[in-house]
Amino acid sequence: MDYLITSHDPRFPLRVRLCVMVALLLLPALVVAGALSFRLAAAEREQIEQELARTAEQRATEIDREIESTKAMLVVLAGSRYLQTGDLEGFHRRASEIARQLGTLVVLHRPTQDRRVITTSVPWDETPELTMPAVRLAAEQRAIESGQAVVSDVFFGPVSKQYLVAVILPVMRNGVCDYVLSIGIPAAKLSSILASHVHGPGRVDVILDRRNAFVARSGNSDAFVGTQAPSEVAWSELPNAGMLDVTNRDGIRFHDAYRRAKSTGWLMLSSVEETVLNATIRKAWASSVGTTLALFVSAIGLTYLTGRRIERTVGKIGIDRRPTGQEFALLLDSAPNGVVLVDTNGLIVLTNRQLEQMFGYAGHEMIGRPVEILIPGDFRSGHVALRQDFVQHSTMRPMGAGRDILGRRKDGGEFPIEIGLNPIATHSGQYVMATVVDVTARVSAARALHVATTERDQLRRRLMQAAEDERLRLARELHDQTGQPLIAATLAAKDLARSLDPEGQQKLAKLNGLLDLIGRTLHQVAWELRPASIDELGLKTTLNNYVADWSAQIGVDADFLCDVDIDHMPDETRTTIYRVVQEALTNIAKHAVDAKNVSVVLKRTGSTLQLTIDDRGDGFDLAESLGKPSKLGSLGIPSMRERVALIGGTLDVESSIGFGTTVYARIPMPQVEVAT
């Protein structure tokens, strides 16, 4: 065979041409590695943003809960017998006890020119004059005009000497405001709520009132409360939820997720410093650039030295000179992969050093022997027929496409390889050149990735199970710890009714109504967290009851059909089915406003359990809505799909505007039998 190495331009030495070749080979791989690093960094940034959004929503819920609790306490104080009988000293004593327990202030005064007040911040025998800030006065006026409880923005209390938020309730008598009763929540208390949840460096949670003033802050609260937020953002024009970037008054750039609280209209912001948020990208950039430069310089340097050594040893190969046998052997041995040349009889004619090291043979041990010595014994007979067929239909292609190929070392060890086949025609005959690549590292990496993915899925399962266990624990505590006290309070109120006059009985009836509402609300919350009937009555009965209750509450006809024994499936599978049905029906109630009929069907098809939830509502554009989580409910299609995937199933959603929406969940259930 004749081999010729040529140069397009003799002015460039061999070492330069080799460096250029290596550079061209390395650059695509380095670019891909850098792109992957940046994609991972961008994914981590997106995860942080999602966590900020969840935190802002949680803080908004907590503040709404605090305000609603304060309103309920105002209603209780307004109905106090001390206030009804005019025993203001007794009212002061009772209000002081409540204020001390809650860490708040209670203020009572008449809406007249006489601004003397009863306040729990001073003893009973002191009656300070009420110098009411404009913010507090405006909120009181709104409360008197509406006859409802009103929440003020933040203001500085002249008596308590601290920043407060007032929840104000007019006490009406015969259609006239007799007293104005308010509870002042210290801004420090709200700040402590925020500070108890903030984790990680550069993180801060903030509450802004309707005037864009700081109500509370998780860190350095005293320096911010009562001051105005940066004016670069039109805070009042922001929607109810979203993301934004803002610079604080110290010049620090923050990335914020915000939610507007329903009860107050305040903005809840969960923020992280841009330097912290971008740290991952900077780290990926530095690592990628550093690794790329080091690898590139090392490869080019090694190639340059190798090329110079070749030039010094055998001279430069010109465009009109064939390489010598030594030059050819050196070039062949410098190939990055193993190379073997085989004749039409399957005998090895030529090998390079990489192949010899890969299989553990010396060169002379392979020359003249069948190429099948490099193949495991179980595959040798089949390989002979494949080799002969390749000789008859020679074409350049990979060997064993779509199959795993193993090589056999001299010591009997086996390892994964990839082989490329290239037929060569010379004046001395036909040959096949095979390029062999050891892919052990790649296979090991794939196995490690599979193990990591499996561990990740197991961790997700444990996290979901822990969440379900916590839901069950909370549901039981809500039922056990609050149910009996509420019943006792109701019974005590009924006993008290006998000793009250008609007006007192009427007010007591309102209190009983509030207690009943609290009981029903707690029961509903406990049910939503984890219906005990899943474990007590079984999943089939629980789903039937849930669909019926949902239909009665929403006013939409709903059918539940199940011909499969689903009560003896694993807990994880039963919980997943229940959560998917619950989320799908919740989304129908929120978004399918024109739905006339809903069906929930569980049936077995072969070895698959199929759950179908279908509505005849107005439908939606699925592709457009995938980018809008709020359109798809609190769980969302991706999370529903992930839940089902963790138990080995699949979930698909079909929707068309005007034709409704259908959710399909398919779960492999080889052990499920049709009920008889």
Same domain, 364 and 342: yes
Split at pLDDT 50, 70, 90, the class of 349 is confident
Same domain, 49 and 178: yes
pLDDT digits (tens, 9 = 90+) for 518-528: 766 766 665 56
**In this model, does residue 415 exceed pLDDT 90?**
no
In terms of average pLDDT, the best of 29-43, 123-137, 307-321 is 123-137
- Give how far the C-alpha of residue 402 lies from the chain's centroid of Cα atoms, to the nearest Å: 36
Closest alpha carbon to 429 in 347, 513, 320, 486: 347
The answer to whether residue 575 sits within a structural domain is: yes
Alpha-carbon gap, residue 219 to 198, rounded angstroms: 9
The answer to whether residue 284 sits within a structural domain is: yes
Secondary element (H or E) of residue 654: strand 650-656
Alpha-carbon gap, residue 169 to 181, rounded angstroms: 5
CATH at 562: 3.30.565.10
**In this model, does residue 330 exceed pLDDT 80?**
no
The tokens of 158 are what?
Answer: 């002249």
The tokens of 138 are what?
Answer: 């405006």
Same domain, 105 and 206: yes
DSSP character at residue 221: G
The answer to whether residue 523 sits within a structural domain is: no
pLDDT digits (tens, 9 = 90+) for 623-652: 666 555 444 444 467 778 888 888 888 999
The answer to whether residue 507 sits within a structural domain is: no
Split at pLDDT 50, 70, 90, the class of 673 is very low
The answer to whether residue 342 sits within a structural domain is: yes
pLDDT digits (tens, 9 = 90+) for 210-256: 888 998 988 888 888 988 888 777 777 788 888 888 888 777 888 88
Same domain, 280 and 371: no
Split at pLDDT 50, 70, 90, the class of 602 is very high
Residue type, 598: V
Closest alpha carbon to 221 in 173, 189, 243, 264: 189
**In this model, does residue 318 exceed pLDDT 60?**
no
* Dihedrals phi, psi of 175, to nearest 5 degrees: 80, 5
* Dihedrals phi, psi of 219, to nearest 5 degrees: -140, 145
Task: Give mean pLDDT, residues 642-668.
Answer: 86
The tokens of 49 are what?
Answer: 């943003």
CATH at 368: 3.30.450.20
Same domain, 263 and 388: no
Same domain, 279 and 382: no
Split at pLDDT 50, 70, 90, the class of 457 is low
**In this model, does residue 439 exceed pLDDT 70?**
yes
- Structural domain of residue 351, as residue ranges? 335-438
**Final residue in a domain of this structure, among 293, 312, 329:** 329
At residue 455, the pLDDT reads 66
Same domain, 25 and 154: yes
At residue 674, the pLDDT reads 41
**In this model, does residue 410 exceed pLDDT 80?**
yes
Closest alpha carbon to 271 in 229, 231, 228: 229
At residue 92, the pLDDT reads 87
Alpha-carbon gap, residue 505 to 493, rounded angstroms: 10
Taking the complete model, does pTM exceed 0.85, yes or no?
no
Split at pLDDT 50, 70, 90, the class of 6 is very low
**In this model, does residue 17 exceed pLDDT 50?**
yes
Provide the phi-psi class of 315: left if phi over 0, else alpha when psi is between -120 and 50, else beta: left
Same domain, 320 and 343: no
Q: Which residues in 427-512 belong to E strands, given as ranges?
A: 429-438
Report whether 609 contacts 666 (CB < 8 A). yes
Question: Within 13 Å and on the Cβ side, how many CA atoms surround 142?
Answer: 14
SS (H, E, C) 421-451: EEEEEECCEEEEEEEEEECHHHHHHHHHHHH
Split at pLDDT 50, 70, 90, the class of 600 is very high
Task: Select the more confidently predicted residue: 233 or 106.
Answer: 106
Split at pLDDT 50, 70, 90, the class of 529 is low
pLDDT digits (tens, 9 = 90+) for 539-579: 888 888 888 888 888 888 899 999 888 888 888 888 888 88
**In this model, does residue 587 exceed pLDDT 80?**
yes
Q: How many domains does the chain have?
A: 3
Report whether 80 contacts 94 (CB < 8 A). yes
**Final residue in a domain of this structure, among 438, 467, 502:** 438
Share of the chain above pLDDT 90, in %: 6
The answer to whether residue 483 sits within a structural domain is: no
Same domain, 605 and 574: yes
Alpha-carbon gap, residue 414 to 374, rounded angstroms: 9
Alpha-carbon gap, residue 540 to 543, rounded angstroms: 5
pLDDT digits (tens, 9 = 90+) for 481-500: 566 676 667 777 777 767 77
Same domain, 314 and 342: no
Same domain, 183 and 253: yes
The answer to whether residue 257 sits within a structural domain is: yes
**Final residue in a domain of this structure, among 438, 460, 494:** 438
The answer to whether residue 617 sits within a structural domain is: yes
Report whether 659 contacts 615 (CB < 8 A). no
Same domain, 34 and 48: yes
